[in-house]
Amino acid sequence: MSEVMTDFQASNEHWLDAHHREIPAGLLTAHRLVIEKGRGAEVWDVEGSRYLDFAGGSGGLNVGHNHPAVVSAITRQLNEFTGDCFRVAASPAYIRLACRLNQLVGDGEAFQTVFFNSGADAMAQAINSARAFTGRHDIITFEGASHGHSLADCRLTSHSPVGQADSAHGASDIRSLPYPDISRGITEADCRAALQHCLRSGDQAGAAILLEPVQGEGGIIPAPASFIQYLQRICRQYGMLLICDELQSGFGRTGEMFAYQQSGIRPDLVISGNSGAGLPIMAVTGRSAVMSAPRPVSPQGGSALACAAALAVLDVLGKEDLLNRSLMLGERLYQRLVQMREKYACLRYVRGRGLMLAVEIINPETGKRDAALAQAILDAACIEGLLLIRCGITRNVIRFLAPLVTTNAQLEEAFHLFELALARATGRL
């Protein structure tokens, strides 16, 4: 370990060798890089090479790396109080942030918020709240969803190997239904019919419907507004709760503060997170009666530092008009990807909302999804200086999650670098 802790400027390979020795093999990174610093939409590795970061912390770095307002807020809090001791006493930052989220989600109704250090704990809290409030156990989710990978919540993730194994052993409290996806020929009518069949065949309605308004890991697939509205009507009809998982789509990523707002509905529970610009903080915000039904799964979370950072993020989103910027940059990115599709036959569906966009990669000769080609494009883009990541059930979808503070010049540069990567990966260069 002493070799790793030396002061000299090491290479990526030096640090990656240490990564291989010191960290379990299952904890993977998309690129063979070690990032040392970042600013806005740019990062630099330990060798000093610059990259445009269009992976954006899987959608969590909406105000970019090291935003001055966020750094200032963290520094002020650092000089006052850093602890995470809600078991002992609350912090002002925790209460302020809860108040802000209650106003954003509740919009005048009585809502409450609790914070956690991980998405797994936040998911467990939302599920426990729904079950305690309704007195029922079953949860309805959708194929392609990603709601976590812990042993407790992996069954909510239909393509998780652990979830599949658990389902094979007879677990019946999680029901996974089709999700509208034109690329797989699944219509909204198909999904409505499947839901109705599920409700008719069950002994009773479940506790909740759990939905990503835009599926993230599943391939950046937005749910139609009409489908989300239908789900809310079904929940009201059967006494179920509607839970929206906004861990990837929240805080301006899609052009609204939360993606569900584009459908004109208000969920009973909202799971959000990654608003701390790199500091771990996840939240469950819900109707007061629902939130008060159980005790919190874990009171750990919402450290003063993370809450201060999240409050600063909310301020930046408003002051810099980043929700509108997300829509504007997203539209430009969408149009350019559509134009590239005319030149490169490997690009198929371009989809998403705001700066939560993706393009599906296929084999031009067979028309089949091509995960290997998608990875080759990512590798070529990294060499050119553009960081992207994959998603999708078959991992053949490239997603664009640029920070909302990305400049016009950086967006143009990203277009150029991505086209170079396409040319290299497809043998044109």
Do 230 and 353 share a domain, yes or no? no
- Average pLDDT (209-226) is 96
* pLDDT tens per residue across span 379-424: 999 999 999 999 999 999 999 999 999 999 999 999 999 999 999 9
Single residue among 269, 288, 319 that ends a domain in this structure: 319
Q: Please count the helices (runs of H) and the strands (runs of E) in the chain.
A: 13, 17
Single residue among 319, 334, 368 that ends a domain in this structure: 319
Report CA-CA distances (Å) from 104 to 108, 111, 365.
Answer: 9, 10, 48
Do 132 and 239 share a domain, yes or no? yes
Do 234 and 377 share a domain, yes or no? no
Among candidates 148, 201, 153, which has minimal Cα distance to 177?
Answer: 201
The CATH number of the domain where 133 resides is what?
3.40.640.10
* pLDDT tens per residue across span 3-53: 555 655 678 888 888 888 898 987 878 888 989 999 999 999 999 999 999
Mention every residue, 6+ apart, whose C-beta is less than 8 A from residue 287. 106, 109, 110, 111, 112, 268, 269
CB atoms within 10 A of CB 28: 7
Count up the domains in the chain and report the number.
Answer: 2
Single residue among 319, 343, 359 that ends a domain in this structure: 319
* pLDDT tens per residue across span 147-189: 865 544 445 555 544 344 333 333 458 899 999 999 889 999 9
* 380 occurs within a structural domain: yes
DSSP line for 124-166: HHHHHHHHHHHS---EEEETT-----STTTGGGSTT-HHHHHH
* Per-residue confidence (pLDDT) for residue 166, from 0 to 100: 39
Do 30 and 124 share a domain, yes or no? no
The parent domain of residue 278 ranges over 71-319
DSSP line for 403-425: -TT--HHHHHHHHHHHHHHHHHH
Helices assigned H by DSSP within 351-407:
371-384
Do 41 and 130 share a domain, yes or no? no
Helices assigned H by DSSP within 282-357:
288-291, 304-319, 322-343
CB atoms within 10 A of CB 185: 7
* Per-residue confidence (pLDDT) for residue 315, from 0 to 100: 97
* pLDDT tens per residue across span 225-276: 999 999 999 999 999 999 999 999 999 999 999 999 999 999 999 999 877 6
